[in-house]
Amino acid sequence: MKQIKQLFKWSTLLFIAIAIYGLTFASVVPIEFADWHHMHLFYDIILQGLPLALLLTLVWTIKKKRPLKTNVSIGALTLLLTVTVFFGMFFLMFSFGFGAWVNENIIYQNKENTKITINKQIWDVGAFGYGGQRTVKLTPFLGPWIYIEHIDTSKMDKTKWTLVQQQGEVKTP
């Protein structure tokens, strides 16, 4: 039983740490998911799993050796926090769950490594339309991720790049 409690403890703490990182610091790190489907799956798991992970902390925070009053207080506080996070996830769902950067145009391709491209991207918010635009250099990073670098195409060394002007994922009529 003690091993199961330790498993719950460390898995919930790890999940909560990943969720906090994913909802805060990950937005300023220049590494993103290469496929927006993976990004949506990650945030769906985070948004739906965080309230459950908070409830699972009850498994290892409530102890028999503590007074009943302390256990009830911990349980009530955990339930209140879980309900608050659950309703907060609805609001976060609109900022994390629906939008994604999609390639409007693939402008340049690196001559040495054709997987490195310079793309014009738009923020696709599904039924809510499109948000901002950006021009970025996309470099593959550890398989499912890409390294993002904002770039000004008027100031770059064009001898290292091939002009491709391919249409991206956004289809225009």
Same domain, 121 and 160: yes
H or E stretch at 68:
helix 68-92
Same domain, 85 and 34: yes
Same domain, 7 and 91: yes
pLDDT digits (tens, 9 = 90+) for 14-54: 999 998 898 888 888 899 988 888 888 888 888 888 888 88
* Residue at 173 is within a domain: no
pLDDT digits (tens, 9 = 90+) for 109-122: 999 988 999 999 88
Contact yes or no for 62/54 (Cβ under 8 A): no
Contact yes or no for 34/144 (Cβ under 8 A): yes
Task: Supply the pTM of this predicted model.
Answer: 0.75
Same domain, 20 and 35: yes
Same domain, 7 and 72: yes
* Residue at 68 is within a domain: yes
For residue 13, give its domain range: 2-97
* Residue at 14 is within a domain: yes
